[in-house]
Amino acid sequence: MLIEHEQLHVDKNNGVEVGRTIKKFPLLTPREYVLAWILWEGKDKTFFCFVKECEHSLAPWQKKYVRVGTFRSGWRIRKVLGRNACEIKMYHQEDAGLNVEMAKLAFAKGVWSYVCKMDSALRKYSAISNDQSSSATTAVTLIKKGPPWIRGDG
């Protein structure tokens, strides 16, 4: 269960956002995630996201949480041609200090909900990408046609 989330930093030049999230699992000390992520649009309206653990000066270690030290996650979402459907491919690696059975249960219960939320999030992005009048800066509002290092420009 998500307890808290805060944006720590957004780099407007490269589109990387850093945030801190606290999650509570039943019978366990809350887990703290300090993560950096980037979203980009590839060819043919294909979207990508990569998330990785990091450190940040605005998120010092606290004894009341277990800091998740290994977290790598990514996805690709693209329209299925000729259908009102999309294809999602995901990769996820995390060591939250859970035993294997608890981790399997948490993943099985949480991942489908996450995937379902991606549809509405992408629809919201489509709506705001045409109207960038929002004053909030996030990785979503900074989606570009791929980071320079992926396009080969940088």
What is the model's pLDDT at position 102? Answer: 76
Q: What does pTM read for this prediction? A: 0.76
Residue 65 confidence (pLDDT): 95
pLDDT tens across the length of the chain (154 residues): 889 999 999 988 888 999 999 998 877 899 999 999 998 888 777 889 999 999 999 999 999 999 999 999 999 888 888 887 788 888 888 887 777 887 777 777 777 777 777 767 666 665 655 555 556 666 666 676 666 656 555 5
Contact yes or no for 2/20 (Cβ under 8 A) = no
Contacts by 87-92, CB closer than 8 A, 24 or more apart: 88/115, 88/118, 90/115
Where along the chain do its domains lie? 2-147
Distance CA 32, CA 74 (A): 19
pLDDT of 6 reads 95
Cβ atoms within 10 A of the Cβ of 91, count?
11
Give me the DSSP letters along 8-39. EEE-TTT--EEEEEEE--TTSPPEEEEEEEEE
Fold of the domain spanning 2-147 = Alpha-D-Glucose-1,6-Bisphosphate; Chain A, domain 4 (3.30.530)
> What does the pLDDT read at residue 135?
60
Q: Is 47 exposed, middle or buried (0-12, 13-18, 19+ CB in 10 A)?
A: buried
Give CA–CA dist 94/149, Å, rounded: 25
